[in-house]
Structure 1
Amino acid sequence: MTRHEDKEAAVRRLLDTPQPPVPGDLALRAAARGSLRLQRARRIRRVLWTVGAVAVLAFVVWASTTRPWEVPPAETTPPFESW
């Protein structure tokens, strides 16, 4: 037998065996589980957007109060020499 024939024979054996019974409420349980998963993903997405917005707001407030782009004032002043 070739490799292809071996695979074909294995598939035929699987298909010839009796199939297990499927519960009648399987579709309802799958739909409920999928709904819960979507709700959880939606909540996580909202929390992440909120955290991101708060982080941006905190950065803007920090940057507007400390102004990191300006040159800091000199610590010491040069000596004053009269003319």
Structure 2
Amino acid sequence: MNRAQREGAARQIMEHTPPSVPPELYAEVVRRGGHMLRRRKITLRLMYLLLFAATVAFVVWALMARPWVEPPSETTPPLTGW
């Protein structure tokens, strides 16, 4: 099938009227869509909560460990000139 035939077939498909949707299918789709939206909202809230908890944990760790401060020397310098 060359390009002109594909374009012709696509035009023919687009010119047809879309098939009608059965009425009982509409209610099912709306119900499933509501479930999907609730699930997505809950997932998003949990992700934000996890991000917030990780941020708080990092800030608390940083305040307690103080990684920006140079650790104290473990050894004493040699005594000279006594």
> Which bracket does the TM-score occupy, shorter chain normalised?
0.7 to 0.9
Alignment: residue pair count: 75
Detail structure 1 runs of 4+ shifted over 6 Å in the superposition.
Answer: none
Cα deviation, 1:29-73, whole Å, max 9, x if unaligned, reads 111111111001001001101100110010011011110000110
In the TM superposition, 1:1-80 aligns within 5 A as: 3=4, 7=8, 11=12, 15=16, 22-80=21-79
SS in 2 for 1:44: helix
Equivalent AA in structure 1 for residue 55 of structure 2: V
**How much has 1:26 moved relative to structure 2?**
1.9
TM-score (norm 2): 0.73
Unaligned runs of 5+ in 1: none
Cα deviation, 1:13-33, whole Å, max 9, x if unaligned, reads x94xxx866322222111111
Equivalent AA in structure 2 for residue 26 of structure 1: L
Separation in 2, partners of 1:22, 1:49: 38
Q: Highest CA radius of gyration, 1 or 2?
A: 1
